[in-house]
Structure 1
Amino acid sequence: MLVRDLLKGIPVKWVSDDKLYDIDVDNISFNTKDIKPNSAFLLVKGISFDPYEMIDEIFDSKKVKLFITEKPLPEKPHILVENARRTFGMICRNFFNIDFSKIKSIGITGTNGKTTTNYLIDSILRVSGYKTIRIGTTEYVIVDEKIEANNTTPGIYDIFEMVAKGVKKGASAVCMEVSSHALDQDRVYGLNFDVAVFTNLTGDHLDYHKTMEHYYQSKKKLFTKEYSKNAAINIDYDYGKRLYNEVEIAKYSFSKGKGDVGVVDVSYSLDGINCRVNIGDEVISLNSHLVGRHNLENILGAVTATYILGISKDDIIRGVEQFKNVPGRLEKFEKNGAYFFVDYAHTDDALKNVLEALKGFKKGRLITVFGCGGDRDRTKRPRMAKVAEVYSDIVIVTSDNPRTEDPNAIIDEILTGFENRSKVLVDPDRRIAIKKACDEAKAGDIVLIAGKGHEDYQIIGKTKYHFDDREEVAKNLGVTFEKI
């Protein structure tokens, strides 16, 4: 592609030589580990990496034809732009030349519920006849191809590459989770969603954002004209109400009470959710296999987003009903009258939602196993303990990806959140902790193994070891486990 076509619609401050516009490049990159021949290279600073320190090394590779940069580069062919990271997103859009007017696109953000909402939207779209691309925490799916997910939100080049691949396979819709990190770092700049969905905002990632206000403002970016055309916002919580009042794009509210999409009546069981929901002035009946009040919110978000897209109410009903579950989200096992659930809940709010859902169904005790990640937000450790204590009859505190921290030090911080430790057990070995919970359970009890969900690894130090909560539960119960 000619550089002039690569930069179509993108403001340029200065060019070292006008002849650069006529260079034909085959690739674009900003990753020094993946420079392909005949490339335009964008100099984008990372959190701990400065490519400007490697200019000569990058250019001497003979693969780079020119640089796109925020700083002048004497004696190097370069084009000067205001913001290299944002420019990279727009260049990706031009490079892959995708006609988004022919693709329905939905972005989902929020602390909790992104993944389940994403799966539900995907189910509704597929029922209505779309071939879809789904990008999120558990996996990336390009129509019929599954790819292991490295991040909740991949880099913008990877996103466009997946969409381009999906379009070749006949895809006409993409739904994806959009993390606060990706938004804050402009890693999804260049996309413009038909609908942006806001699930909720509670304490998490404060190791990165430092304050809830910064966390909120990062999420809010998705609901601006630069990123989205329409907003579907959960107004059951303060941040959602604030966002609904502040956004300037077309907006639709959803709520377990009154909203553009709201709940008329609902019943919950361990088999799922049955409810009647108003969409504007019309009421529809929905039956879902998902468990718990928090999943009702996810259903409402998916219903609102697909309604905005113009999906028929019959297809919405069928899409919700046909969807079974998300891997590692209240994934259920049963043995001798006891129920065992594996869930990804790794924040205090997510843990509260799941425990509230399960507490209403217990006939015996509620036993909770959880830990907190190392080298991550430390403020939630005592908060998770408080939640577990309120809802559980027995709590087993263990490890959950301790990384480079001492597992026992993490556990000590968690323990400060308990008022009464009489019902608290501790075992830093997660495998043993899960076995203790399974051995303890009797008929009528419910056991929750929280924190890892779909993850099939445990990170100790800087090494990733195979470990799957679901496999451990199945092994202890003597039952078969098959991944969803």
Structure 2
Amino acid sequence: MTSPQGRMRPQHPARHRVVDLVAAFDLSVRGVVPGHDALLSGVSVASGDVQPGDLFVALSGLKVHGATYAAQALEAGAVAILTDEAGAELLAAAQPPVPVLVTADPRALAGPVAAWAHDHPAHGIVTVGVTGTNGKTTTSYFVDAALRAQHASTGVMGTVELRIGPEAIESPRTTVEAPVVQSILALMHERGATACTMEVSSHALALGRVGGLEFDVVGFTNLQRDHLDFHGDMEGYFRDKSRLFAVGQARRGVVVVDDEWGQRLAAEAPIPVESVSTLVEGPSAQTADWAVTSADIGLDGIGSSFTLRGPDGTEHAAASPLPGRVNVSNAALAIVLAHRAGVDLPTAIAAVGHASAIPGRMERVVERGDGMPLGLVDYAHTPDALVLALDAVRPITPGRLILVFGSDGDRDQGKRPMMGEIGARQADVLIVTDENPRSEEPAAIRAAILSGVRTVRPDLADVHEATSRSQAIHDAFEIATERDTIIITGKGHEPTQEIAGVFHRYNDRDVLRAAAQARRELEGQDA
């Protein structure tokens, strides 16, 4: 069955001859020689998403080669297969009735081929890419708000959704595969969207998912510990993030220089780069092209106001609709990105300041009052992000700060005790539970978090453990008073929870609302 993102294609796709594809990319041909009448109209790296007229790109996977799924692709209507030598060898015995096109690195070619197949749809769309460890989603939504102030229709591709104009579907990952990126851009072009904002993950950059796309402007938020299971170390992580700022990948960049990695990227990037400092004090505030010179950090849902100094020395009054220092940084970056993408500065500032709520990002789900605590959901899932989230919530909490959190399975294990130590230092009550255990034993993940908690609270005072994330949220409501704040971190907007390889429908916001309703009903009965 074709996936939802696999169906996001133009109704009237471009069509190109397979023989022209061979010539354009200097491919070798095995088996059937392509005829001059064989036409392709799409590209897919997933056999289940292949549609009639597609080129199926068979990639080498971690466990199995994509060529083993060629029969499924052919049954769906693939007119040719692009693969490497290993894939060609696997296909030789089967003698597929379509041309097998061979290249040394089909993954690297998937994006450029898809862009060619769709007549380079990004050429008619203003494209903005955002990378960094934390803040990609928030910054992307702020940028989109500014672009919508100047463009009649825009698109968004990111962690939360794939959206064109008012229509959206859930996104399967932060950055979809390269052929999907190009088909969505082609659909945007067909529907009249003239601007697109995209989150670009480090995995996507390492795996070529934005190949064939040259962004008009790209932004960098920060680099903090995450995904070291994939990148190996921070140097490898930085190297992959830096790929977004390569010649041919982007025309210009905007980099937040609040950390050493941003400063290094701004200095080393081979494309024109503008720097943004958001720390108010420090050497970068004096030398950066753009700088936040003062900030009034918002409290209790009132966003933050700040002053942004431009390259010409002029100061501009600006705002973030979300509280916390981190969202001043996100808003400042978004303003500059949107401005360099063609939005006039006053329009960008006004639009970002009035941007609507962002799913799962410091999202207020239950408001304080009538005996109810304040209940928030935030995506913070790295040590630095957790510090910033708790810092933002503490000033608006007259009572206890209750933290419900966990850590992902099959991911960087080193951050688990770090998360536990941060929670123990900055929250009053901890409820340690599961996030996405994936293939790992959930109890082992919780134990690693609790080992960090014990470095601060050896007796585990006000620390609870819950084997069910839903139960953890209900437990938080049972102990909370109106003066308390409950913050649930780690999953944010995510619509599923992965346990032992099975995806279960689950969302923190829904459970938080249900827990609040259950408490209201119980208190109503008691009255």
Normalising by the smaller structure, the TM-score range is over 0.9
Q: SS at the partner of 1:350? A: helix
The counterpart of 1:473, out of the listed 507, 512, 522, is 512
| Matched residue, 1:32 | 47
Q: Which moved more, 1:279-288 or 1:143-152?
A: 279-288
| Matched residue, 1:186 | 208
Contact 1:110 1:201 in 2 (8 A): yes
Query: How far apart, CA to CA, are the structure 2 residues paired with 1:398 and 1:53?
Result: 39
The counterpart of 2:363, out of the listed 331, 337, 340, is 331
| Matched residue, 1:67 | 81
Amino acid at match of 1:344: Y
When normalised by structure 2's length, the TM-score is 0.85
Q: SS at the partner of 1:192? A: coil
| Matched residue, 2:351 | 319
Amino acid at match of 1:146: A
1:426-437 equivalences in 2 (<5 Å): 426-437=465-476
Does 2:64 align with 1:49? yes
Q: Which moved more, 1:257-266 or 1:19-28?
A: 19-28
Contact 2:121 2:189 in 1 (8 A): no
Q: SS at the partner of 1:410? A: helix
Q: CA deviation at 1:266?
A: 0.9
| Matched residue, 1:233 | 255
Cα RMSD after superposing both structures: 2.4
Q: CA deviation at 1:165?
A: 1.2
Contact 1:335 1:477 in 2 (8 A): no
The counterpart of 1:264, out of the listed 272, 293, 306, is 293
The verdict on how the C-alpha distance between 1:458 and 1:18 changes in structure 2, with shifts beyond 3 A counting, is closer
Amino acid at match of 1:373: D
Contact 1:30 1:41 in 2 (8 A): yes
| Matched residue, 1:142 | 164
Q: Which moved more, 1:75-84 or 1:314-323?
A: 75-84
| Matched residue, 2:310 | 279
The verdict on how the C-alpha distance between 1:21 and 1:93 changes in structure 2, with shifts beyond 3 A counting, is farther
Amino acid at match of 1:206: L
Query: How far apart, CA to CA, are the structure 2 residues paired with 1:21 and 1:185?
Result: 32
Amino acid at match of 1:29: S
Query: How far apart, CA to CA, are the structure 2 residues paired with 1:122 and 1:48?
Result: 38
| Matched residue, 1:392 | 427
Does 2:20 align with 1:20? no
Q: CA deviation at 1:60?
A: 7.2
Query: How far apart, CA to CA, are the structure 2 residues paired with 1:322 and 1:59?
Result: 46
Does 2:341 align with 1:309? yes
Contact 2:151 2:195 in 1 (8 A): no
The verdict on how the C-alpha distance between 1:208 and 1:381 changes in structure 2, with shifts beyond 3 A counting, is same
Q: Which moved more, 1:118-127 or 1:178-187?
A: 178-187
Q: CA deviation at 1:69?
A: 3.4
The counterpart of 2:398, out of the listed 345, 360, 363, is 363
Query: How far apart, CA to CA, are the structure 2 residues paired with 1:108 and 1:392?
Result: 31
1:414-425 equivalences in 2 (<5 Å): 414-418=449-453, 419=455, 420=457, 421-425=460-464
When normalised by structure 1's length, the TM-score is 0.92
Q: CA deviation at 1:225?
A: 0.8
Does 2:491 align with 1:452? yes
Does 2:474 align with 1:442? no
Amino acid at match of 2:148: R
Amino acid at match of 2:34: L
1:186-225 equivalences in 2 (<5 Å): 186-225=208-247
Amino acid at match of 2:322: L
Q: CA deviation at 1:305?
A: 0.7
Contact 2:50 2:73 in 1 (8 A): no
Q: CA deviation at 1:54?
A: 5.9
Query: How far apart, CA to CA, are the structure 1 residues paired with 2:23 and 2:164?
Result: 28
Does 2:262 align with 1:254? no
Amino acid at match of 2:417: P
Amino acid at match of 2:21: L
How far does the alpha carbon of each residue in 1:336-355 deviate from its partner, in whole angstroms, 9 at most, with x for none? 37322111111111111101
The verdict on how the C-alpha distance between 1:124 and 1:39 changes in structure 2, with shifts beyond 3 A counting, is closer
Q: CA deviation at 1:478?
A: 2.8
Query: How far apart, CA to CA, are the structure 2 residues paired with 1:34 and 1:136?
Result: 20
How far does the alpha carbon of each residue in 1:254-276 deviate from its partner, in whole angstroms, 9 at most, with x for none? 11132222112111222110111
| Matched residue, 2:10 | none
How far does the alpha carbon of each residue in 1:199-257 deviate from its partner, in whole angstroms, 9 at most, with x for none? 11111112222222221111111110131111111100111111111111010111113
Contact 1:39 1:65 in 2 (8 A): yes
How far does the alpha carbon of each residue in 1:363-420 deviate from its partner, in whole angstroms, 9 at most, with x for none? 2221111011222221111011111112111111111122232222211111111211
The verdict on how the C-alpha distance between 1:7 and 1:118 changes in structure 2, with shifts beyond 3 A counting, is farther
The verdict on how the C-alpha distance between 1:368 and 1:252 changes in structure 2, with shifts beyond 3 A counting, is same
Q: CA deviation at 1:92?
A: 0.6
The verdict on how the C-alpha distance between 1:475 and 1:42 changes in structure 2, with shifts beyond 3 A counting, is closer
Q: CA deviation at 1:88?
A: 1.7
Query: How far apart, CA to CA, are the structure 2 residues paired with 1:349 and 1:308?
Result: 28
Does 2:486 align with 1:464? no
Query: How far apart, CA to CA, are the structure 2 residues paired with 1:459 and 1:40?
Result: 32
The verdict on how the C-alpha distance between 1:275 and 1:64 changes in structure 2, with shifts beyond 3 A counting, is closer
How far does the alpha carbon of each residue in 1:24-78 deviate from its partner, in whole angstroms, 9 at most, with x for none? 32343333334444443333212222134566x4797594544333326667744
Query: How far apart, CA to CA, are the structure 2 residues paired with 1:124 and 1:34?
Result: 33
Q: CA deviation at 1:195?
A: 0.9
The verdict on how the C-alpha distance between 1:348 and 1:21 changes in structure 2, with shifts beyond 3 A counting, is farther
Contact 1:286 1:317 in 2 (8 A): yes
Q: CA deviation at 1:80?
A: 3.5
Q: Which moved more, 1:28-37 or 1:210-219?
A: 28-37
Query: How far apart, CA to CA, are the structure 2 residues paired with 1:230 and 1:438?
Result: 48
Q: CA deviation at 1:17?
A: 8.9
Query: How far apart, CA to CA, are the structure 1 residues paired with 2:76 and 2:184?
Result: 28
Amino acid at match of 1:86: A
List structure 1 runs of 4+ shifted beyond 6 angstroms: none
How far does the alpha carbon of each residue in 1:295-320 deviate from its partner, in whole angstroms, 9 at most, with x for none? 11111111121121231122112211
Q: SS at the partner of 1:152? A: coil
> Where does structure 2 lack aligned partners over 5 or more consecutive residues?
1-15, 520-527
Amino acid at match of 2:38: D
Query: How far apart, CA to CA, are the structure 2 residues paired with 1:117 and 1:223?
Result: 17
Query: How far apart, CA to CA, are the structure 2 residues paired with 1:79 and 1:368?
Result: 54
Query: How far apart, CA to CA, are the structure 1 residues paired with 2:73 and 2:265?
Result: 45
Query: How far apart, CA to CA, are the structure 2 residues paired with 1:41 and 1:477?
Result: 49
